[in-house]
């Protein structure tokens, strides 16, 4: 029998990590000590106070039943409190906060609520692949906004053709940015609000890395800008902030009508995040944020080791203020995949080719700071022996 997948599956872009995974498995089988700078998954454990909170919550039978669709009230109140303390933004926990089973879940479902077949979404490139794929799944098309060194890895809104802007329903943004590590300032977000108002576009700002920043820099929320709540929502995740990628907990905040649309999709697809996990999430958001400061210190040290090493071998990525991704230009004469392949075969280092995140990512590789600084030093040592 031959079960032919639906067209939406057949139109998917090739899986970014397929060839890398194959090569990596081959090297590991040969006994090579592989250093993995490929995946954006924190290597550090979830802080103890959050684990203890889950342990306690899970023994309470009341957490064992179906959660409420839009999220536990107490969790949404904690989100609003955290937002107020962190960004000075007031939120109505009832209407302006929605619990998600990880932010990826919310991002992936959003186009189903607002994209009709043939509609456009404005999607940055390079970018987290979910924005484009979720648009495709809803029957829409992506109009790609190139992020380049020349524009500071911020989309040039003025360069979007008038027709595309008129047709667009959604604008995806992500700052601090995966994969480029770029950050956005207030001026940019103000332009976004103006643009979204003019063309009546819903802004979806993915702020998964808002807490992962260095040298005292504090990324801002899109919702801090006047008018933002009228045009958009912001996605947050506990995954990167508290090393909870496996727990699946995130949230969306902002425009009540947009959140209601997303909530309507969700209530027909999933049944909410496990209450015990939401209880642990409350602990994470309410507690002193010392663990977050320690996490940032750790990534900052790793960043410094990697940048010093890259500098010695003649590679000069833009300074990194936030995220654990280093967006490194390839040496002259190397495409993204050629350099990725050289690093893997000759140095046992896994990286991600920039071109895998969209065509404008050609000429870069992404290195994730998700191994210890000793291992990063070892990776740099191996790189210095390559003839580039
Ligand atoms: C890691 C990541 C997420 C999401 O993570 P969840 O674990 O689903 O909350 C969202 N956006 C970007 C850009 C990411 O890198």
Whether ligand 1 lies within 6 angstroms of the CB of 370 is answered as: no
| 3-state helix, strand and coil shares in percent for the chain, rounded to the nearest 5 | 45, 15, 40
Cβ neighbours of residue 74 closer than 8 Å, sequence gap 6 or more: 278, 279, 282
Whether ligand 1 lies within 6 angstroms of the CB of 103 is answered as: yes
SS3 (DSSP) at 385: coil
Phi, psi (deg, nearest 5) at residue 5:
-65, 155
Locate 377 and state its tokens.
């030093």
In ligand 1, the atom with minimum distance to the C-alpha of 128 is 13
pTM of the shown model: 0.97
Whether ligand 1 lies within 6 angstroms of the CB of 102 is answered as: yes
Long-range contacts of 183-188 (CB under 8 A, 24+ apart): 183/213, 183/217, 183/219, 183/321, 183/322, 184/154, 185/220, 186/220, 186/224, 186/225, 188/154
CATH architecture of 7-45+291-384: Alpha-Beta Complex (3.90)
CATH 3.90.1150.10 boundaries in the chain: 7-45+291-384
Calculate the alpha carbon distances from 170 to 122, 135, 137, 196, 264 in Å.
6, 9, 14, 9, 17
Locate 186 and state its tokens.
């207030």
Asked if residues 264 and 116 have their Cβ atoms less than 8 Å apart, the reply is: no
CATH 3.40.640.10 boundaries in the chain: 48-286
Tens of pLDDT along the chain (388 residues)?
Answer: 899 999 999 988 877 777 788 888 999 999 999 999 998 999 999 999 999 999 999 999 999 999 998 889 999 999 999 999 999 999 999 999 999 999 999 999 999 999 999 999 999 999 999 999 999 999 999 999 999 999 999 999 999 999 999 999 999 999 999 999 999 999 999 999 999 999 999 999 999 999 999 999 999 999 999 999 999 999 999 999 999 999 999 999 999 999 999 999 999 999 999 999 999 999 999 999 999 999 999 999 999 999 999 999 999 999 999 999 999 999 999 999 999 999 999 999 999 999 999 999 999 999 999 999 999 999 999 999 998 7
Whether ligand 1 lies within 6 angstroms of the CB of 205 is answered as: no
Give CA–CA dist 48/350, Å, rounded: 30
Whether ligand 1 lies within 6 angstroms of the CB of 40 is answered as: yes
The alpha carbon of 351 and the centre of ligand 1 are apart by a number of angstroms equal to 18
Q: Say whether domain 48-286 belongs to CATH 3.40.50.2300.
A: no
Identify the bridge partners of residue 142 per DSSP, sorted by sequence position: 121
The alpha carbon of 32 and the centre of ligand 1 are apart by a number of angstroms equal to 30
The alpha carbon of 237 and the centre of ligand 1 are apart by a number of angstroms equal to 7
Whether ligand 1 lies within 6 angstroms of the CB of 176 is answered as: no
- How far is C-alpha 134 from the geometric centre of its chain's CA atoms? 14
Beta strand spans in the chain (E)? 35-36, 97-100, 120-125, 141-146, 168-174, 202-206, 232-237, 250-254, 325-329, 349-350, 352-353, 364-368
Whether ligand 1 lies within 6 angstroms of the CB of 245 is answered as: yes
The pLDDT assigned to 13 comes to 80
The alpha carbon of 170 and the centre of ligand 1 are apart by a number of angstroms equal to 18
The pLDDT assigned to 23 comes to 85
Could you check whether the bond before residue 126 is cis, i.e. omega within 30 degrees of 0? yes
């Amino acid at each position: 029998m031959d079960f032919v997948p639906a067209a939406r599956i057949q139109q998917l872009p090739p899986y970014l990590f397929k060839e890398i995974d194959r090569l990596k498995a081959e090297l590991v089988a040969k006994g090579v000590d592989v250093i993995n700078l490929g995946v954006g998954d924190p290597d550090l454990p979830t802080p103890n106070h959050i684990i203890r909170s889950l342990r306690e919550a899970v023994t309470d039978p009341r957490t064992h039943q179906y959660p409420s669709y839009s999220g536990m009230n107490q969790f949404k109140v904690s989100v609003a409190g955290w937002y107020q303390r962190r960004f000075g933004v007031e939120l109505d926990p009832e209407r302006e906060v929605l619990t998600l089973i990880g932010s990826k879940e919310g991002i992936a479902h959003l186009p189903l609520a607002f994209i009709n077949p043939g509609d456009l979404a404005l999607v940055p490139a390079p970018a987290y692949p979910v924005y484009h794929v979720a648009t495709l799944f809803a029957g829409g098309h992506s109009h790609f906004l190139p992020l380049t060194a020349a524009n500071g890895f911020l989309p040039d809104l003025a360069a979007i053709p008038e027709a595309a802007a008129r047709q667009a329903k959604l604008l995806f943004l992500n700052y601090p940015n995966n994969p480029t590590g770029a950050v956005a300032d207030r001026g940019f977000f103000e332009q976004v609000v103006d643009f979204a108002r003019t063309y009546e576009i819903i802004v979806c700002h993915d702020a998964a890395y808002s807490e992962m920043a260095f040298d005292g820099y504090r990324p801002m929320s899109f919702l801090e800008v006047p008018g933002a709540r009228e045009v958009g929502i912001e996605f947050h995740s506990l995954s990167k902030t508290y090393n909870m990628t496996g727990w699946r907990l995130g949230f969306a905040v902002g425009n009540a009508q947009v959140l209601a649309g997303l909530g309507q999709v969700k209530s027909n697809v999933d049944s909410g995040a496990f209450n015990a996990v939401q209880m642990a999430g409350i602990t994470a958001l309410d507690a002193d944020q010392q663990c977050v400061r320690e996490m940032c210190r750790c990534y900052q040290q790793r960043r410094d080791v990697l940048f010093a090493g890259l500098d010695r071998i003649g590679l000069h990525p833009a300074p990194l203020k936030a995220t654990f991704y280093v967006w490194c230009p390839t040496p002259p004469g190397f495409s993204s995949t050629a350099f990725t392949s050289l690093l893997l075969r000759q140095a046992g280092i896994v990286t991600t080719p920039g071109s895998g995140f969209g065509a404008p990512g050609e000429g870069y590789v992404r290195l994730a700071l998700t191994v210890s600084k000793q291992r990063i030093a070892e990776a740099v040592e191996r790189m210095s022996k390559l003839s580039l």
